[in-house]
Structure 1
Amino acid sequence: MPFKIKRIYEQSAESDGIRVLVDRLWPRGLTKKDARIDVWMKEIAPSPGLRKWFAHRVDRWEEFAVRYTSELRLNPAVDNLRTLGSKSIVSLLYAAHDDEHNHAIVLKSVISSEE
């Protein structure tokens, strides 16, 4: 499946394919028109409790990845995302500042491991 990861604040491009916002909360300072998303999958984002616990703390990254992976294994939205990926390139859009420690990385890894 052709999944890409992209920060939502980056310029959209034709090569993005289907643009899927994978955050539970709407990105700050961005209008829906400017976001140019095709689908907003709030339900695939980390649970509110896990998101608050993680708080973008790098020292919690490994445990966050384990917990989020567990959530995803039980989440039916993963299959919906795979279905989109079977038809087109899909860009997983996230708002976090950290390009190396964000839930979109975990999400892509889980989807790729279950192909």
Structure 2
Amino acid sequence: MLRIKRIYELPKEEDGFRILIDESGPKGLSKEEAKVDLWLREIAPTKNLGKWPEDDRAHFNEFETKYHDQLQKKNTLIKLIRDTEKEKGTVTFLYSTIKSIKRLQF
């Protein structure tokens, strides 16, 4: 199972394996405090996509399409995530700065 949550939410056991998917780390929170198991900067949307407004549905749909296109080029990372999901059961993606990412469906 894949989940997504804001890194500032308290870690829970049901989060399983926790992967930070932002290019930059969370402000005022260490990886240890956030219980980050893996930091995959490379899976984050490009900076241009990460700044898109999340309150505009039309823009979000375009963001989602472009981000999925970017992910198609990252097969090795996707395989790593899927293999981790098979091994651990649950993988939770953590984000801090990418506002639009929280609405993606995986």
Shorter-chain TM range is 0.7 to 0.9
Instruction: Give the corresponding residue for 2:66.
Output: 67
Aligned-partner Cα distance in 2 for 1:57–1:3: 21
Aligned-partner Cα distance in 2 for 1:10–1:68: 24
Aligned-partner Cα distance in 1 for 2:20–2:95: 6
Q: Which runs of 5+ in 1 are unaligned?
A: 110-115
Aligned-partner Cα distance in 1 for 2:11–2:94: 10
Aligned-partner Cα distance in 2 for 1:14–1:90: 11
Shift of residue 95, structure 1, vs aligned partner: 1.4
Aligned-partner Cα distance in 1 for 2:18–2:98: 18
Give % identity. 33
Q: Write the mapping of 1:1-115 to structure 2, written as runs, cut at 5 A.
A: 2-52=1-51, 54=52, 56-59=53-56, 60-76=59-75, 77-88=77-88, 89-96=90-97, 102-106=100-104, 108-109=105-106
How many residues align? The count is 102
Aligned-partner Cα distance in 2 for 1:80–1:13: 22
3-state SS of paired residue (2:60):
helix
3-state SS of paired residue (1:58):
coil
Aligned-partner Cα distance in 2 for 1:43–1:86: 21
What TM-score, normalized to structure 2? Answer: 0.83
Paired letter, 2:101: H
Shift of residue 8, structure 1, vs aligned partner: 0.7
What TM-score, normalized to structure 1? Answer: 0.77
Shift of residue 5, structure 1, vs aligned partner: 1.4
